[in-house]
Chains A and B, each alone.
Chain A
């Protein structure tokens, strides 16, 4: 299942979960054949609402359904959900603390064919700034599927970020999935790579390369960007002295910024951020080459880890 595209795994899981939770209702603004909420629509047409190309309206309708005790999953392209419907999300979902689940498809640069109009590279930044919001970025398809019942049964606003494409497997199937609890996927002493989303699998590959270079890298999957597992970050800073953030997002405001804030608060340590370097990406023939071209390749993670470890060593020498 790790090979399954994230949206495919999510769409199947949503339809499956519909059988066990009669309160589940699903909304989509004319993108159900892309987000794959259409699987749910086919099985439960009476609980599916296609609102046309109107993301703000969709979020408000979801709010009304939530007020009445339903558990709405409102799907849309991340770029549109996080910008066009932002005011609804801030006011009617977060401020009013309604039990709405926002599922942001085609996240990051995964809509490589359409280009930057449909890339979502600042959605984590804006979503995590909202009080009451929980932000979850699954690492692969299998994990995306596992989050469906968990966020449905959590009471409060959630932003779940889903990629269009597949992701390298995270091999986290045996580990417990819990909101706000990061997963240590690989032990290591010299540097810690804290990754989210499609960069998790890439970080595991980077750790292999780093091992060959004599650097023992720890890999943490930080699926919950908010609330951040600060304890796990502080422990990694304490034990490895250097960190790297890796995400399919701008280096401004996302996981990298969340880590920087946490480190500044509790355990200052060198941090190198891997992500889009405050720039729009481009159209590409496939998501992998696009990520490689815009600073999110395995080689970028390796280089960042070496820089972070070197900064740590230099700081120790000065002491």
Chain B
């Protein structure tokens, strides 16, 4: 259903979002590189194919709602919003400066296109429940998308939100879980195991789709399937690699929140700029 041309275009965007994120984190010498890299295909599929948005009208009532529950990955969100036209790409250079609208973590009151301020983990899912309930009350057709980190599924409020979404049968709510298995202090499966994760979501009465989160066709088809599912909320468990695309960052928890040096950035960009398609998953 998706042409090779579409997939290739989105792959190039995902690659560009990775490059943008690393350059931003390097320039600022702060940020969370690992997660920005693992979610690049998810963000490319959402912002450049699936989400109904109008950058000229950030408050367009019929827009799809997107919440980056794990606000630490603000770099890739800002990169996506800029490339999508919500604000000039030149703003990215000011990220973190006192007079820049781009805060360390996303701020809905300062940055166009940011639906909700995030950064403390666990809020995105229950807030998404509220947005989805409101859409249903209004008879609105738009959908609500929440991107979750895996580590934040250790927070109890995620499961409070999961229970509520199932109780209210919110088929207009889709969660995409970036399952890279790395968190600040080490591997998720060591710090506080989540497995059996798919079974947990099923036990909470969610529909579950498991995919390779770096395979754009799988990401797009899972989002389509979720939208066509009418019996309650769906979670897409996207198996990903933290630090994807940069050899020395992949699967390393030490790259959760550490910026690269100049030499490391150069090596990373060199690896990312290799011809796309060759390494398609």
A and B from one complex: yes
Q: Which residues of A contact B (CB under 8 A)?
A: 25, 46-47, 49, 51-52, 54, 56-57, 60-70, 72, 87-88, 91-92, 95-97
Q: Closest 7 CB pairs between A and B?
A: A64-B130, A68-B134, A60-B126, A57-B160, A61-B130, A96-B117, A54-B160
CA distance in complex: A25, B133 (Å): 10
The answer, among A54, A60, A70, A72, for a CB contact under 8 Å with B123, is A60
What distance in Å separates the Cβ of A40 from its nearest Cβ neighbour in chain B? 15
With A67-B115, A70-B134, A91-B119 known, 11 other A-B pairs at CB within 8 A are A49-B168, A57-B157, A57-B161, A61-B126, A63-B116, A65-B134, A67-B65, A67-B130, A68-B131, A70-B137, A88-B157
Interface residues of B, CB < 8 Å — how many? 30
Cβ-neighbour of B117 out of A62, A64, A72, A92 (below 8 A): A92
**Residue ID in chain A nearest B131 by CB atoms:** A64
Across the interface, B137 reaches (CB within 8 A) one of A47, A96, A97, namely: A47
**B194 adjacent to chain A (CB < 8 Å):** no
B108 interface residue per 8 A CB criterion:
yes
Interface code B107-123, partner A: CB below 8 Å = 1, 0 otherwise?
11100000111011001
Is B138 interfacial (CB 8 A cutoff)?
Answer: yes
Take A56-B160, A60-B127, A63-B127 as given contacts and tell me if A96 and B134 are in contact as well, using a CB distance cutoff of 8 Å. Answer: no
Residue pair A64, B137 in contact (C-beta under 8 Å): no
B131 touches A67 (CB 8 A): yes
- Rounded to whole angstroms, the CA-CA distance of A96 and B106 in the bound complex is 10
- Give Cα A294 to B132, complex, Å: 46
A61–B157 contact, CB under 8 A? no
Write out the residue numbers on chain B whose beta carbons fall within 8 Å of the beta carbon of A68: 65, 130-131, 134-135, 138
Q: Which residues of B contact A52 (CB under 8 A)?
A: 160, 163-164, 167
Closest chain A residue, CB of each to CB of B129: A61
B30-67 interface code vs A (CB 8 A; 1 in, 0 out)? 00000000000000000000000000000000000100
Q: Is B128 an interface residue (CB 8 A)?
A: yes
Please name 9 pairs of A and B residues whose Cβ atoms are closer than 8 Å in the assembled complex, sorted by A. Answer: A54-B164, A56-B160, A57-B163, A60-B123, A60-B161, A61-B161, A67-B116, A91-B119, A96-B107
